Every structure is written in structure tokens, then in C-alpha cells.
Amino acid sequence: MATFLLLITFLFGTACSSAGQGQTELPQNNESTVSKTESENDTMIDKNGNSNILIAYFSATGTTKQIAEYTSEILDADIYEIVPADPYTEEDLTYYTNGRADREQNDSSARPAISGSIENMEQYDTVLLGYPIWHGQAPRIINTFLESYDFSRKTILPFCTSHSSGIGSSDINLHALAENAKWLDGRRFSAGASKEEIAAWLDEMGISQSVSQKIGTFNFDTKTVLLNSGYEMPINGLGTYSLHGDECRNAVRTALENGVRLIDTASAYGNEAEIGQAIREAIEDGIIKREDIFVITKIYPGNEMKNPEESIQACLDKLNIGYVDMMLLHHPDPNDVKAYKAMEKFVKEGEIHSIGLSNWYVEELTEFLPQVDTVPALIQNEIHPYYQENDVIPFIQEKGIVVQGWYPLGGRGHTGELLGDTVISEIADAHEVSSAQVILRWNLQKGVVVIPGSSNPDHIKENTELYHFSLTEDEMNRINALDRNEKHDWY
């Protein structure tokens, strides 16, 4: 009987190919998927978990698995196998017997369940999606995968495996399942595809390790850092604490005109409306596009965290720039977990892209993080040469969270002393830059995003000129030795 079925399979497959239709490459076994023993809750992510490229694949006979593994090795990317919750049997996969695979492929609504999930999908900005060709299309489990995550702003590059069929319309027919993704043209590989062939294809498509930015690693060429939420954030910006009215609008305008693309505010600053106005005007005048800038705001303890949905919406309404790139909780509060979960809902609705915390330290984070589902993308704390947080910064960064420093120049009442420090002044003279630039560069080389506040156009411009010089290891150590554990504000 088995021989008869195989003969029928061969005859029908040949006829399908001869008629010019996509040949169905339905495998006769499922060696790679059946062998998986991970529990339903396992994420099954291999490699180090901090790549921004993911290879996701479904394999039946192992052909797609081999291509996926080659691709992962070439890119040093994370790899995830899409494993059916109900594994396919050999009988399920026999052609033209009205078996399970036949029925699924003939049913456009079929969505086979997947065992396990990817908890950190937000960290990936590029997903290579692999699958075998079944009846000229991707197996329906690929539909399940695409409908399980938010692929907005991600790049998806499909690849398929078959004995002779091309990728055909299989990848194009997947586009509707992730409409907000950027889809690249897919490629078909045979079982004998070499690693060199795959490397050449990746190079042709512009996907390579050389352009793969790791989460939390500063890119001094693009002046950005990749957040664990999958978004890129500028590593230097403008702080707007105490700026109001025309002074605030003019400062933001000046910053945007000088290439600043990160603006930090908060509900408690009382200037969200002015900042929103300045941004909208800059967009109207063609200085920037909305997607070019990154805006951070915060909600405050007390009534704002007690009524978080109302407070979050108020921030969105005052800024009136479509969405907020990052929202933080300003300080710990009895209602902080409730408020954070409210922010998570706004993320799902697309009105906030990333979320994080401000003024959280080791003890607070140890208590807070187990209570929430989303790892913060950013922690914003006071950091300057006299208060360096050398125990806190590594603790945060090791969790894949980016650190941002407020009061990078010491804060009001202390800036003069810090800028006049003889160690910093000597280093500034050696590089022919200002003391402020030395301090800001020191932060950047420690992996700390800087948001110095100013309304002075000359200072705003100066604070952006941080990339034409670098500090030596000795100079970094000299500044590190200035730490007094001297906090300049109460939080």
C-alpha cells in the first residue's frame, strides 16, 4: 500500500509540474520537527539572544533546517524553529491522500498551533522566514507564526526549499499577514545549496553581520542605539526640564535645526504642549519628518499613576504628535506596576512604541521586574562624573536595557564646579573641545545616552559635536576616579 501511495505521489507531482503549476514538495517524513521535545512554554531561541536578526523556520525533512542553520552561522543571528504543537506524522504528509497536510493546504483558514513562543520578538528588526513549498505555497503553520506577533517596521526576508518549484507566489501571499512589515523578495534553495551560495544571496540582499547592530550597543556612525523593543534611539538629545513657553519652543526648534533627534520631557515639566507645537512646526517647515525624531515623556507618581490610562492619554493629547516613542514612569510609586501595565496596553495599540523607567536602581528593579511582562527598554537615572552609578549601570545593561543619564553636566547649581574640574579641563584642552563635550563623550563611551538641557543655541549646538574625538582609556580612568557618590537631586 505504501508503495502504491508513493507511486501516486510521484505521478501527481510530475503532472502538476508539467502543467506549469508550482510543484508541491510535501515531505514524506518530518525528522526535524518530530525530534523536538521542548515544552510548549519554551522559546527555543538558540545563540546569545541579543542579535537584532532572527532566523525563523519550519522544516519537515531537514532541508529547510540546513539552510536556516547556514544562514544563522553566516550572520551570527538567533535561530528559532517553528515546531507544530501536534507534530506531523509520515501519514499526515503523504501527498494527495486527503491527509492532514493536504486538508490544511486546501483550507485557507487553517492555522496549525505552534509549540512555544518568542518572548523577545520586539528586539528583532530583521526576520528571515524559511519554509518548504507545499502545494505551491508556504505551509499553513507559517500563517500561524505571522499572525502571532507584531511585525510592524520589521524587515521580513522569506526563503523556501523545494526539489524543483520556485518560490512562486508563496511569499507574496504571506504579505497580507504582516502588512506593516517591509517584505523583501524571497529566494528558493535546493537541498544541495552551499553555505557560499547562501552567503552570496545574503550579501546581494544587503543582510550581513556587518550591518547587524546589537541591542544596547552604541553605533557611533549612526549615533543611535538599538533598544530591546526593536526601535532605534538617538544617543544624544535635549533635556527640557524647566523650559517653558517661547524659551522651550525655541530651544526645541534650535535643537532640531542642529540635528538633535531625541527630545526628553515629562508631564511634571508642564511643557509637553510647547514641545509638541515646536515639533509640528518643524515638520510643517520640512526640517524633520515625524519618523526621524524620538520623543520621551513620563507620568508622575501620585494621581497620575493612580489613574494611568487617563494620565497617559493626557500626555498623548498635549504632545499631539501622533504617537510617543518612549514613555517612562518618573519614579517608583505604590501604583507603579499598575501604571506600567497600562503603558503596555498603549504599546499594543500602537500609541506608544517603547516603555521604561526613570529613577529605578538595583533594589527597586529587583523588586519591580518580576511583576511586569515587558522588560523596560530604557532606565533613566542621574549620572555625571561626581555621581557615576558604577554598580547600577552594568546591572541594567546586562539585562539588555539601555541606560540614559539626566543631569549629565551635574545639574543646576553644580554645573560650574563640574565644568571647572581640573581633570576635565585638562582633557578638554588636550582635545581642543569644551569640558561639557568631554563629559558627554565620557558618558557615551560608558554606554550612557545623554540628554543635556539648555536653551542657549550655542550650547545646544556644542552638545551635539561629540563624534569627532574620543577619549583614551587613561582619560576615561581619570574621569572615573572623580566619583564622589554625590547625588545632586533627591530622586
| Number of neighbouring beta carbons within 10 Å of residue 487 | 15
DSSP state of 126: E
- Element holding 127 (H helix, E strand): strand 126-132
Which three cell numbers mark 6?
508513493
**N-term to C-term CA, the chain:** 77
Q: Output the DSSP codes for 187-241.
A: EEE-TT--HHHHHHHHHHTT--GGG-PPBT-EETTTTEEE-TTS-EEESB-EE-T
Amino acid at 362: V
CB atoms within 10 A of CB 270: 14
DSSP alpha helices (H): ranges in 336-409? Answer: 336-348, 362-368, 392-397
Find the farthest-apart pair of alpha carbons in the chain and give their distance in angstroms, rounded. Answer: 89
Annotation says 95 is catalytic: no
Q: Single out the catalytic residue among 70, 269, 340, 407.
A: 269
Query: What is the DSSP code (8-state) at residue 447?
Result: T
Which residues, in sequence order, are bridge partners of residue 352? 324
| Helix 272-284 vs helix 308-319: crossing angle, to nearest 10 | 40
The answer to whether the beta carbons of residues 356 and 264 sit under 8 Å apart is no
What is the spatial distance between Cα 146 and Cα 149, in angstroms, rounded to a whole number? 6
Which triple of cell numbers denotes residue 31?
A: 525528522
Residues 62, 36 contacting (CB under 8 angstroms): no
Point out the residues that are catalytic.
269
